[in-house]
Amino acid sequence: MAKTDNRATFGKLGVILATAGSAVGLGNIWRFPYMLGSNGGAAFLLVYIGCVLLLGIPLMIAEFYLGRHTRRNTAGAFKAIAPGTKWSLIGYNSIWAAFLILGYYSVIAGWTLEYIVESLSGDIAGKSAEQFSASFNAFSTDAVRPVIWTLAFIVMTHIFIASGVKKGIERASKWMMPLLFIILVALCFRSITLPNASEGLKFLFQPDFTKITPSVVLSALGQAFFSLSIAMGCLITYSSYFNKETNLPKTAVQVATLDTVVAILAGVMIFPAVFSFGIAPTAGPELVFITLPNVFAQLPAGWFWSFVFFVLLALAALTSTISLHEVVTAYIHEEFKNITRKQAAVFVSIGVGIIGIISSLSFGLLHGISIFGLTIFDALDFFTAKIMLTVGGFFICLFIALKVSKKDLREELTNGGKIRFRLFDTVVFFIKYICPVLIALIFLNQLGIF
């Protein structure tokens, strides 16, 4: 199948900001801090950075190759390289994963809108830790408000997607990503000026190497895999909008660096505040929606800092929902020629809205419905994050090893010999041999087998 010659392309800055936006999300600001807090602090951070280098960057380069080389959607990329084979199933796996993830991810994203409103209304003032917990449980199990916020977030995402690649995705990334960094740095500065903040910084940056266990290493591998949006289709889809002058290895390093910096800044923002108020750093997933509002309530002008924080969280979520939506929209629009981009976006938004409603209600009204002992929300999370993404990542490596020649890889990754890529052989070795082993270990660990 021929490449798409009239395909939109990102500008030079858009390449970095849009792709970084697809990677930066709730995984950095919500999941990373509680994973770090539960796995020994600085020791986890060091292992995580190593995992980004060993697993994240090589896999990102592999996906960039597939997207830019074919200039096709996620399924189309595999069809273009291996036509008439079942290798395209890898692409379909990523598309379905993106669709399902977007459905339940929008629920958490919608919660940030509720907390923005609560912050502005001053509702966080004067509450005890128990009241924050009770308030969150009452809200998350409600049959109306969470659904409204979920749908509101899907509509916001839809507006950017329907506006197109240049006017929607790239333009949004150019103002959202800088704003995200400005807010994050401001919150970090506020956090490190709190009494006893140094204890939080020690927890984050002073490693205790006795904390490094096989479990910590596997957790860090998994976090690196999911934080960088590996096998979700986002990287293949976005790189299909790169121009032929884009330096793919350099872009992978820049995006991975930005993603890691955001995660570290999230730690700087959270742990000094947590230690300052004597709260355990191992608070877990409720760290953002229960623990931190409790911290903000004890600060002067706490409503303001709470508002700023949840705006930050909403921005991070929005950059990710846009990329997930684009994966599915691009596929439908390109593979079904009679469907316009705007029509494809509508179909995706309606489907995601249905999944979002069901996922939201699984915290309350549909809580009694279980799939293999899990609520609908947890089942979607388990099936996509622990099975579909790891299987997809494994087979992407296998595809590169079996169906792509080293000559074609070198040609694409050096822009036809125009740029130097000194670590080419090393990266290819990792993609073909090291990354599959690491992904297999993640998969077995996720299933509780290893």
pLDDT digits (tens, 9 = 90+) for 279-308: 777 665 677 888 888 888 888 888 999 999
Question: If you average pLDDT over residues 381-409, what whole number do you get?
Answer: 95
Nearest to 358 by CA among 177, 178, 210, 151: 151
Q: What is the pLDDT of residue 4?
A: 45
Portion of the chain with pLDDT greater than 70, in percent: 98
Q: Which pLDDT value is given to residue 2?
A: 39
Domain boundaries, the chain: 12-446
For position 284, what pLDDT does the model report? 58
For residue 211, pLDDT over 80 is answered with yes
Residue 84 has pLDDT above 50, yes or no: yes
Percent of the chain with pLDDT over 90: 74
Q: Is the pLDDT of residue 1 over 70?
A: no
* 12-446: CATH, from 3.10.129.10, 1.10.4160.10, 3.40.50.970, 3.40.50.1000: 1.10.4160.10
Q: Is the pLDDT of residue 395 over 90?
A: yes
Written as one string, the DSSP assignment of 317-382 is HHHHHHHHHHHHHHHHHHHSTTS-HHHHHHHHHHHHHHHHHHHHHTTTTTTT-EETTEEHHHHHHI
Predicted pLDDT at 30: 81
Over residues 320-346, the pLDDT tens digits come to 999 999 999 999 999 998 999 999 999
pTM for this model (two decimals) = 0.93
pLDDT of residue 358: 98
Q: What is the mean pLDDT of the chain?
A: 92
pLDDT in tens, 234-292: 999 999 999 999 999 999 999 999 999 999 999 999 999 888 888 777 665 677 888 88
List pLDDT tens digits, range 89-120: 999 999 999 999 999 999 999 999 999 999 99
pLDDT of 40: 85
Q: Angle at the Cα of 158 (from 228 to 11), degrees rounded to 5? A: 55
Report the alpha-carbon distance of residue 209 to residue 43 in Å, rounded.
6
Q: Which residues of 215-227 are buried (b: 16+ CB within 10 A; e: fewer)?
A: ebbbbbbbbbbbb
- Is the model's pLDDT at 162 over the cut of 60? yes
Q: How many CB atoms lie within 10 A of CB 367?
A: 13
Is pLDDT of 147 > 90?
A: yes
Check residue 295 and give its pLDDT.
85
Instruction: Report pLDDT for 327.
Output: 97
Residues sharing a CB contact under 8 Å with residue 446, sequence separation 6 or more, in sequence order: 222, 385, 386, 387, 390
pLDDT band at 5 (very low <50, low <70, confident <90, very high): low
> How far does CA 423 lie from the centroid of its chain?
27
By the 8 A CB rule, do 358 and 365 touch? no
